[in-house]
Amino acid sequence: MTDEHDFWDAGGIYRPPTHPVVELFARQRTAYLSARGLLGDVRSLLDVGAGSGFSSSYYPAAIRVAACDYAPGMLVSNPVRDRLVCSAYALPFSDSQFDAVSCWELLHHLDEPTTAIREMLRVARRRVIIFEPNRVNPGHIWLGLTRKNERRCLRFSPRYLRRLVEPTGGRITQHIRCGLLFPNITPLPVARWLARAPFRVPLIAISQLLILEK
Residues of the chain with pLDDT under 70: 1-13
Q: Say what the pLDDT of residue 9 is.
A: 55
Q: Say what the pLDDT of residue 149 is.
A: 83
Q: What is the pTM of this model?
A: 0.93
Which pLDDT tens digit goes with each residue over 59-110?
999 999 999 999 998 899 899 999 999 999 999 999 999 999 999 999 999 9
Q: Say what the pLDDT of residue 13 is.
A: 64
CATH assignment at residue 42: 3.40.50.150
Q: Say what the pLDDT of residue 2 is.
A: 42
Q: Which domain holds residue 183?
A: 2-213
Q: Say what the pLDDT of residue 38 is.
A: 98
DSSP sequence for the chain: -HHHHHHHHTT-S---TTSHHHHHHHHHHHHHHHHTTSSTT-SEEEEET-TTSTTGGGS-TTSEEEEEES-HHHHTT---SEEEE--TTS--S-TT-EEEEEEES-GGG-S-HHHHHHHHHHHEEEEEEEEEE-TTSHHHHHHHHH-GGGGGGGG--HHHHHHHHGGGT-EEEEEEEE----TTTS-HHHHHHHTTS-SB-TTT-SEEEEEEE-
Q: Say what the pLDDT of residue 3 is.
A: 46
Q: Say what the pLDDT of residue 5 is.
A: 55
Counted domains in the chain: 1
